[in-house]
Amino acid sequence: MKPHSTGPSFDINVCPVYTKLGEFHNNTAHSVHKYGLRIFHALIPRTHPCLDSPYDPDYLANGYTDPYWANPKVPAIFEDLIAWKCGRNGAITERTGAVVFKNFRIADSAIAGIEFSMIEDVVNGYAMVQGGTVVGNTQLNDADQTIANSTVWGFIGPRTENMQVHNLKFFNFDF
């Protein structure tokens, strides 16, 4: 996404990277060339998209329950994705903030079931995977040698900190 809207509707007060997500629920991706779900380049939603969201290390002492009380993060919840036979990953994020992958069911991805590349602009507990299942090989890929012969990872974590994974199950990783 661009930092602001472009073209005839250009508006400095429109900031897509920081805008909250509507609803992502019960989607399916099957036999796609690369990704079942790809968040590219960034999604870091917050209450007021075009304003900074400063971290307050003394938020509890000051009587707040959120360290981003001046401009709270708005979790982008991607829920109940089913993805199988994806040519690269079932789901991937490039640069994200308060993004949650919830109850994903992914099978037969060529590289990884789920990948988070970078977590940005949030403390621990805002970006996470909650529940879900990743199947490495369903044994239904013999005709597709690209997937059948690939090295498969269930989850590739970010190269930055502040990511959590809860109750993600892995099956049939026999490569």
Share of the chain above pLDDT 90, in %: 78
Q: How far apart are CA 53 and CA 46, in angstroms?
A: 7
Q: How far apart are CA 59 and CA 61, in angstroms?
A: 6
Q: Are 84 and 106 in contact (CB under 8 A)?
A: yes
What pLDDT digit, counting tens, does each position of 17-66 carry? Answer: 999 999 999 999 999 989 999 999 899 999 999 999 999 999 999 999 99
User: Does position 151 have pLDDT exceeding 70, yes or no?
Assistant: no
- Write down the pTM of the prediction: 0.90
pLDDT of residue 140: 77
User: Does position 144 have pLDDT exceeding 80, yes or no?
Assistant: no
Q: Is 75 left (phi over 0), alpha (psi -120 to 50) or beta?
A: beta
